[in-house]
Amino acid sequence: MSALPLHLLSDNARVEADGSLSVGGCRVDEIAAEFGTPVFLYDEAHLRARCQEAVAAFGHQKVVYATKAFLCKAMAKLAYDEGLLLDVASGGELAVALAAGVPANACTLHGNNKSVTELREAITAGVRHVIVDSFDELDRLDALWAHGLRHANGGAPKVVLRITPGVSAHTHEFIATGQDDSKFGFNLRNGDAIKAVDRARRSDSVDLVGVHCHIGSNVFEASSFAKAAEVMADFAVPLDLPELVLGGGLGVAYVEGEEAPNIAQWGNVLLDACDALGVRSKVSVEPGRAIVASAAMTVYTVGTVKRIPGVRTFVSVDGGMSDNPRPVLYGSGYESFLPRAASAPRDLTARLVGKHCESGDVLSFEAKLPADIAVGDLLATPVTGAYGHSMGSNYNKITRPPVVFAADGNARLVVRRETYDDLLRTDLG
């Protein structure tokens, strides 16, 4: 069996002389001892490098970090400090960004069903623009305007219309968003998109500044992005609006054998296509996963190794679907390894499971692990920087893990582990 493909680790992960792993100059076993397990361990310099690559590819303030992938105050501040705007998808995400010191005019508000309260809060705060998703949302904006709501700058809020381009990305159906059968956006094929443009242009309650599309998440094929750019350019060029937002969705490799374009390659595909198609608008993008996924690993402790002869071996860890629901939701694959022996051969095939009261609580259906794995070992899954912390839950009243940033030999706690008191804080009895 093969050892862990080391290219799946973050930029500043190192296998030390004794075979153990360090991240950002910090030993993984020492971080686990200090902060406990499970723990989300991020390579901070890796995060900064991906932000810098995106700015180099697209330009300053043309990259809008999709905070749904991973958000805490430290991440919001990091992204903004590195020259990114922030795309928030709820009032809660906006609140975190603002609490981190990110100005509202560096934030854009997404969502297919924004509440009146969310719209009011965002407009009052002064968000850069609202990505409008439906005619019902235009109705809400009309009503808010009629009741005297004005943007922080005193005028109508700037809006971008989300268009459904009819482009099917090669990804899981639950995270495909650009096809005609989608809950998101104004459908291009049936004429809703141009109707929305006409209405927004006539309206006093909004200031239309651009159009937007997003075809899905974890997309590996650059041709899908090029096709979306072509469709959107055909629609956008005659409108001659200031902005064209081509969304995010760039995939990352999670397991051995997967390959995805890097941020620079993605930028070349999109910008070359836009240049060839005569796009004069400012082109911006919304990467999330591509910025954060490979920056982190989740470190667990093995609690049970259950060998059932002739059936399989189960390896149980002290987390599971509450800190990584993607395998349950999408059948997503992950590699796994032991930080004490990061380059060791993985001769054992086992089912890696969590501690929740669900047979479906599986982190890896066929995990490759060293044969000498034992109770008490640390076990890590790489490429968990996106949609782990952000999609986590308290199922079985499990407390959510902490988040640690490691850089230059220092490990800092940026999100503490939840406590039982946190679980009870909103429970009024």
Q: Are 11 and 45 in contact (CB under 8 A)?
A: yes
The one-letter amino acid at 284: S
72 in active site = no
Containing 177, the helix (H) or strand (E) segment is none
Structure tokens at 244: 């064209």
Q: C-alpha distances in angstroms, 133 versus 79, 174, 215, 416?
A: 25, 18, 14, 35
Structure tokens at 143: 């009503």
Q: Are 28 and 249 in contact (CB under 8 A)?
A: no
Q: Which of 130, 111, 107 is nearest to 200 (CA)?
A: 130
In terms of Cβ atoms closer than 10 Å to its own Cβ (0-12, 13-18, 19+), residue 408 is exposed
Between CA 103 and CA 365, with CA 248 as vertex, the angle to 5 degrees is 115
Q: Which of 63, 65, 46 is nearest to 55 (CA)?
A: 63
Q: Are 394 and 13 in contact (CB under 8 A)?
A: no
What DSSP assignment string belongs to 106-118? Answer: GEEE--TT--HHH
Q: How many CB atoms lie within 10 A of CB 49?
A: 18
Which long-range contacts (C-beta less than 8 Å, at least 24 apart) are formed by 405-408? 405/24, 405/42, 405/44, 405/47, 405/74, 406/12, 406/23, 406/24, 406/25, 406/26, 406/31, 406/41, 406/42, 406/43, 406/44, 407/12, 407/24, 407/25, 407/43, 407/44, 407/45, 408/24, 408/25, 408/45
Cα separation, 370 vs 59, whole angstroms: 44
Catalytic one among 51, 213, 274, 357?
Answer: 357
Q: Which residues are designated catalytic?
A: 357
